[in-house]
């Protein structure tokens, strides 16, 4: 009686065991396993240089081990790290898309303080218990105001306190111990001009601490044809004219040092 037992494993090898009861002989024959040298050679050409095989005698299976070469390990690890980091990073800010960046304050305006009166300003002159000598007057183009009894008085370039002292001195010749108060009603001379490639060219009131970006916004902003790299600010002084060229593109990128503070009567030229 011959008992046959066949073991088969996924095509890697087969062991046939057979027992001859009559002759009392036993024999074991193995089918020749396929040569893997050609497969290893093909893998080496593809960069998979580590190749080994061994047979698990307990199960009769052929085990093949392929190791990833060093050159491919780093990209593979990087890919795994990125796959893990992307979902985590989305929760780092708690879903908040707003980020805050603190930058130093731009240099403050060098304009004199307190306010100095200029041409076209409207001022109130109040004389205590003298309503006929009080009134609201506009500073003329020559920088002077006209008051009852005393006539023309230079006002431009003076502060309200200085003009008040001057008026008191002149009016004391006609009124005993006059008490005069001077205040600004409309600082019309505190203005700037926006010309060139802006949406709304013209004259605009200059607010306290106003800078170039705010002035351009008041004028409707630059047009699509504006050259933002060569915006000029023309500033006139008593004896000279100063031209400041500003690269406004730097302001859009966050460089606030290029956001120049404006002064009275500045002219912004947008080419």
Q: Pick left, alpha or beta for residue 229 (phi over 0 → left; psi -120 to 50 → alpha; otherwise beta).
A: alpha
Cis before 62? omega within 30: no
pTM reported for the whole predicted model? 0.55
User: Residue 157's domain spans which residues?
Assistant: 122-186
202 with 259, same domain: the answer is: yes
Q: 145: how many CB neighbours lie within 10 A of its CB?
A: 23
Q: For residue 197, is it within any domain? A: yes
Residue 261 forms part of a structural domain: yes
Same domain? For 257 and 197 the reply is yes
- Is residue 83, in this structure, part of any structural domain at all? no
Please indicate, yes or no, whether residues 7 and 48 belong to a single structural domain of this protein: yes
- Do 138 and 182 belong together in one domain? yes
Q: Same domain, yes or no, for 146 and 217?
A: no
Tally of domains within the chain = 3
Query: What are residue 12's phi and psi, to 5 degrees?
Result: -85, -25
Does some domain include residue 116?
no
Distance between CA 63 and CA 36 in Å, rounded?
12
Q: What is the pLDDT of residues 188-231, one digit of tens each?
A: 999 999 999 999 999 999 998 899 999 999 999 999 999 999 99
CA distance 187 to 115: 9
Alpha helices in the chain (DSSP H): 37-45, 70-89, 160-171, 212-218, 248-252
The per-residue pLDDT for range 30-61, each reduced to its tens digit, is: 445 555 555 555 555 555 544 455 555 555 55
In a domain, 82, yes or no: no
Are 238 and 84 in contact by the 8 Å Cβ rule? The answer is: no
Is residue 107 assigned to a domain?
no
Per the domain annotation, does 37 fall within a domain?
yes
- 182 shares its domain with 196: no
The answer to the question of residue 105 being in a domain is no
150 and 202 both lie in a single domain: no
Beta strands in the chain (DSSP E): 2-9, 13-20, 25-30, 50-56, 61-67, 122-127, 135-138, 144-147, 151-154, 180-186, 191-196, 202-205, 231-236, 241-246, 267-270
Query: How do residues 15-35 score in pLDDT, each as one tens digit?
Result: 444 444 444 444 444 445 555
């Amino acid at each position: 009686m011959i008992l046959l037992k066949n073991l088969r494993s996924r095509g890697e090898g087969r062991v046939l065991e057979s027992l001859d009861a009559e002759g009392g002989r036993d024999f074991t024959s193995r089918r020749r396993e396929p040569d893997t040298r050609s497969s290893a050679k093909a893998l080496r050409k593809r960069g998979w240089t580590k190749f080994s095989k061994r047979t698990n005698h307990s199960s009769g299976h052929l085990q093949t081990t392929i190791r990833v070469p060093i050159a491919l390990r780093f990209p593979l690890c990087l890919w795994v790290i990125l796959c893990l980091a992307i979902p985590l990073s989305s929760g780092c800010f708690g879903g908040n898309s707003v980020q805050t960046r603190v930058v130093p304050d731009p240099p403050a305006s060098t304009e004199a303080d307190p306010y100095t009166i200029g041409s076209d300003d409207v001022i109130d002159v109040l004389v205590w218990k003298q309503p006929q000598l009080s009134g609201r007057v506009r500073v003329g183009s020559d920088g002077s105001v006209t008051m009852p009894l005393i006539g023309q008085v230079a006002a431009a370039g003076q502060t309200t306190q200085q003009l008040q002292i001057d008026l008191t001195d002149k009016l004391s010749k006609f009124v005993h111990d006059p008490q005069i108060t001077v205040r600004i009603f409309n600082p019309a001379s505190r203005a700037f001009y926006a010309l060139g490639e802006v949406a709304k060219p013209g004259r605009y009131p200059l607010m306290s601490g106003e800078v170039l970006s705010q002035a351009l916004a008041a004028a409707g902003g630059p047009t699509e044809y504006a050259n933002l790299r060569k915006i000029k600010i023309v500033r006139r002084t008593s004896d000279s004219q100063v031209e400041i060229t500003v690269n406004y593109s730097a302001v859009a990128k966050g460089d606030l040092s290029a956001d120049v503070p404006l002064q009275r009567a500045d002219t912004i030229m947008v080419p």
